[in-house]
Amino acid sequence: MRQFKQSRRNFMQTSAAAAAAFATGGVAGLGSALAARPKELNILCWEGYNSAQVLDPFRESKSATVKAESLTNDPTMINRLRAGEINVWDLINVNNPWARKIMYPEKLIKPLDRAKMEPYFEKMLPMFKPPYKWAMDDGGKELLGMCQRFGPYSFVVNTDKVSRQTAEDQGWDLWNDPANSKKYGVLESDDWNVFGICCIAGFDPFKQHDDAEVAKFTEAAKRVFKGAKMVGDIATMNQAMISGEIDFHLTGGTYSASPARHDGATNIRGITPKKGPMRDGLGGISWIEVTSVVNNPDVSPLAVEFLQYVQDPKTAHIVAFAEGTFNPVAQMGNKECFDLFTKEELDAIQWDSLEEEMSRSIEYDIVPDYDKLLDIMSAAKREASGG
């Protein structure tokens, strides 16, 4: 699942374990990662970029050894760079705030050649018009990475049970209606659930919260988990909605609904509320991936070539529908890429409402007091399960 943040108490354990693995040459089987660099590329990424569908054509065209490891947590990947694996990886693929707010200030990634790479943004969808904020450093001078997959991510409904209009109008208050108790599930995605419960409690997740807001969060977390019929993964939530066991689930969106929709269950739909507690009254939250070159002292020359390779229309389409979940890609702004998508594929990623939903969403960001809220939410989850 898309889990974007990690508790500080886990940081030292993660870093120590990664450092030990690196020291013994056991990091993802990359003990010889520094050998034969001109023909070797190592990628730390979300699923999709590690797919043979994506990697094999590049391997063959470059006669190169390309290794990719997929993780499901941005900070875990970043912590591995901090723990010494900056010498292992050439590319890192994480979500939008981490490049400009964490990795570049900590010198974990290096800037790209704007003259060479920024023209690719001109062919992307209009929202990525250069200089695109999340691909740049805070000063707006350095290009820190390339964008590709993105999407809205708030919650999902079975439109046979809850209409799209009702869900968009009622928004996060679906979880504030006592009549909906035991009609919904909760996806196992702690980070996004923290965001969602903040919205249910009526305030913006992406800021420091005062005592009154923390109290509201605590009450909302207890109520949400007490009222949940089940807690599970994407497959569990989609199957439960298809079977009629639940009517909707927290959290989710195009990313989680797309497998069911691609299989024909188009009544399963990601929802972006029309209004909410975020800046400018926005009701939804979105994510955007940014892929950056690691500040490896012996970085592979193939790193930039791979970033150029995935901009190709055919490759971008493969990335959008690589095994797992399916997502829009920025390169759909190029007609040559867009025309490769079938009607069924466009329906799976909810292309019909994508622009509107992104306009109603605030981009995912870092929660300053995430650890405190996660502890509260985890306690509410345990209490509801009798643990």
Q: Which pLDDT score is estimated for 144?
A: 98
Same domain, 259 and 177: yes
Ramachandran region, residue 211 (left: φ > 0; alpha: ψ -120 to 50; beta: rest): alpha
Same domain, 308 and 213: no
Same domain, 16 and 105: yes
Does residue 358 fall inside a structural domain? no
Pair of tokens at residue 178 = 């006592």
Cα 55 to Cα 129: distance, rounded to the nearest angstrom: 27
Whole-number average pLDDT of the chain: 91
Same domain, 262 and 128: no
Same domain, 77 and 89: yes
pTM above 0.95?
Answer: no
Cα 348 to Cα 219: distance, rounded to the nearest angstrom: 35
Same domain, 65 and 117: yes
Number of domains in the chain: 2
Does residue 278 fall inside a structural domain? yes
Same domain, 221 and 177: yes
pLDDT, tens digit (0-9, with 9 covering 90-100), for 89-109: 999 999 999 999 999 999 999
Pair of tokens at residue 35 = 């050998």
Separation in Å, CA 310 to CA 57, 58, 127, 185? 11, 9, 19, 36
Segments of the chain assigned E as strands: 40-45, 65-70, 91-95, 109-110, 146-158, 184-187, 230-232, 248-253, 268-271, 284-294, 361-363
Does residue 321 fall inside a structural domain? yes
Same domain, 124 and 212: no
Q: Quick one: pLDDT band at residue 189, thresholds 50, 70, 90?
A: confident
Same domain, 336 and 369: no
Residue 54 contacts residue 306 (beta carbons within 8 Å): no
Q: Would the pLDDT of 70 be above 80?
A: yes
User: Which is more confident, 26 or 377?
Assistant: 377
Q: Which pLDDT score is estimated for 233?
A: 94
Q: Which pLDDT score is estimated for 134?
A: 98
CA dihedral (103, 308, 125, 131) in degrees, to 10, reads 50
Q: Would the pLDDT of 150 be above 50?
A: yes
Q: Would the pLDDT of 178 be above 70?
A: yes
Q: Which pLDDT score is estimated for 73?
A: 80
Region 8-13: mean pLDDT is 35
Q: Which pLDDT score is estimated for 283?
A: 97
Out of 14-28, 58-72, 107-121, 130-144, pick the least confident. 14-28
**Domain containing residue 135: CATH number:** 3.40.190.10
Same domain, 102 and 225: no
Does residue 32 fall inside a structural domain? yes
Q: Would the pLDDT of 6 be above 70?
A: no
Q: Would the pLDDT of 14 be above 70?
A: no
Percent of residues, the chain, with pLDDT higher than 90 = 85
Asked whether the bond before 159 is cis by omega within 30 degrees of 0, the reply is no
Same domain, 307 and 378: no
Residue 163, SS3 per DSSP: coil
Q: Which pLDDT score is estimated for 18?
A: 44
Does residue 357 fall inside a structural domain? no
Residue with tokens 């499901």: 72
**Owning domain of residue 87:** 8-150+289-351
Does residue 360 fall inside a structural domain? no
Report the Cα–Cα distance between both ends of the chain, in Å, rounded: 23
Out of 17-26, 191-200, 260-269, 376-385, pick the least confident. 17-26
Does residue 356 fall inside a structural domain? no
pLDDT, tens digit (0-9, with 9 covering 90-100), for 34-62: 444 789 999 999 988 999 999 999 999 99
Same domain, 105 and 171: no
The CB density around residue 40, as the number of other CB atoms within 10 Å, is 19
Residue 67 contacts residue 41 (beta carbons within 8 Å): yes
Residue 18 contacts residue 75 (beta carbons within 8 Å): no
Does residue 311 fall inside a structural domain? yes
Cα 22 to Cα 85: distance, rounded to the nearest angstrom: 7
Q: Which pLDDT score is estimated for 323?
A: 78
Region 115-135: mean pLDDT is 97
